[in-house]
Chains A and B, each alone.
Chain A
Amino acid sequence: MKGLVSVVHELASAAARGANGLAHQRIATAVMIAFFALAPLVAYPVFLMKVMCFALFACAFNLLIGYGGLLSFGHAMFLGTAGYASAHAAKVWGFPPELAIFFGTACAASLGLVTGLLAIRRQGIYFAMITLALAQMVYFFYLQAPFTGGEDGIQAVPRGKLFGLIDLKNVWAMYSLVFAVFAGGFLLIHRAVHSPFGQVLKAIRENEPRALSLGYDVNRYKLLAYVLSATLAGLAGATKVLVFELASLTDVHWTMSGEVVLMVLLGGLGTVFGPVVGALIIISMENYLAQLGSWVTVTQGVIFVICVLTFRRGVIGELGRLIGKPL
Chain B
Amino acid sequence: MEIFGVPTQALFGQLLIGLINGSFYALLSLGLAVIFGLLNIINFAHGAQYMMGAFCAYFLLEKLGLGYWWALAITPFVAGAIGIVIERLMLARLYKLDHLYGLLLTFGLALIIQGLFRNEYGTSGIPYAMPQELSGGRDLGFMFLPNYRAWVIVASVVVCLATWFVIEKTKLGSYLRAATENPALVQAFGVNVPRMITLTYGFGVALAAFAGVMAAPIYQVNPLMGADLIIVVFAVVVIGGMGSIMGSIVTGFALGLIEGLTKVFYPEASNTVIFIIMAIVLMIKPAGLFGTQR
Contact = CB atoms under 8 A, between A and B. Distances in A.
Contact of B234 (A122, A133, A141, A258): A133
B79 interface: no
Nearest to A135: B231
A302 B109 CA distance: 8
A121 B291 CA distance: 14
Contacts of A19: none
A275 B107 CA distance: 19
B115 A130 contact: no
Contacts of A177: none
A297 to B, nearest CB: 4
A129 B239 CA distance: 11
A326 B97 CA distance: 21
Contacts of B93: 309
B112 A302 contact: yes
A316 B160 CA distance: 47
Contact of B279 (A125, A134, A295, A307): A134
A305 B109 contact: yes
B51 to A, nearest CB: 14
Interface in B266-285: 268, 271-272, 275-276, 278-279, 282-283
B111 interface: yes
Contacts of B100: 71, 124-125, 128
B286 A301 contact: no
A190 B119 CA distance: 41
A140 B110 CA distance: 22
Contact of A309 (B105, B110, B286): B105
Nearest to B42: A125
B91 to A, nearest CB: 10
A140 B112 contact: no
B109 A122 contact: no
A122 to B, nearest CB: 6
A125 B231 contact: no
Interface string B85-109: 0000010011001011101110111
A136 interface: yes
B227 to A, nearest CB: 8
Given A128-B103, A133-B278, A297 B114 contact: yes
B118 interface: yes
Contacts of B114: 297
A173 interface: no
A293 B118 CA distance: 11
Nearest to B279: A118
A308 B238 contact: no
B193 to A, nearest CB: 21
Contact of A132 (B90, B234, B271): B234
A309 B278 CA distance: 32
B231 A254 contact: yes
Contacts of A285: none
Contacts of A303: 108
B221 interface: no
Nearest to A122: B286
Which range contains the number of B residues in contact with the other chain? 35 or more
Contacts of A297: 111, 114-115, 118
B145 interface: no
A308 B99 contact: no
Contact of A304 (B107, B279, B282): B107
Contact of B119 (A295, A301, A308): A295
Contacts of A144: 268, 271
Interface in A213-260: 254, 258
A126 interface: yes
A261 B36 CA distance: 22
Contacts of A302: 108, 112
Contacts of B103: 71, 73, 125, 128
Contact of A305 (B108, B119, B237, B279): B108
B111 A258 contact: yes
Given A136-B275, A140-B272, A304 B115 contact: no
Nearest to A114: B279
A294 interface: yes
A119 to B, nearest CB: 8
B116 interface: yes
B108 A130 contact: no
Contacts of B234: 129, 132-133
Contacts of B110: 301
A42 interface: no
A24 interface: no
Contact of B275 (A73, A137, A261): A137
B82 interface: no
Interface of A: 71, 73, 118-119, 121-122, 124-126, 128-130, 132-134, 136-137, 140-141, 143-144, 254, 258, 261, 265, 293-295, 297-298, 300-305, 307-309, 312
23 contacts: A71-B100, A71-B103, A119-B282, A122-B238, A124-B99, A126-B238, A128-B103, A132-B234, A133-B232, A133-B235, A140-B271, A144-B268, A258-B107, A258-B111, A261-B104, A294-B119, A297-B118, A298-B116, A300-B111, A302-B112, A304-B107, A308-B108, A312-B101
Closest 10 CB pairs of A and B: A304-B108, A301-B111, A301-B112, A137-B275, A297-B115, A298-B115, A121-B286, A133-B235, A140-B271, A129-B234
Given A136-B228, A136-B235, A304-B105, 15 more contacts: A73-B103, A122-B282, A128-B100, A133-B275, A137-B279, A144-B271, A254-B231, A295-B115, A301-B111, A301-B112, A302-B112, A305-B109, A305-B112, A312-B97, A312-B101
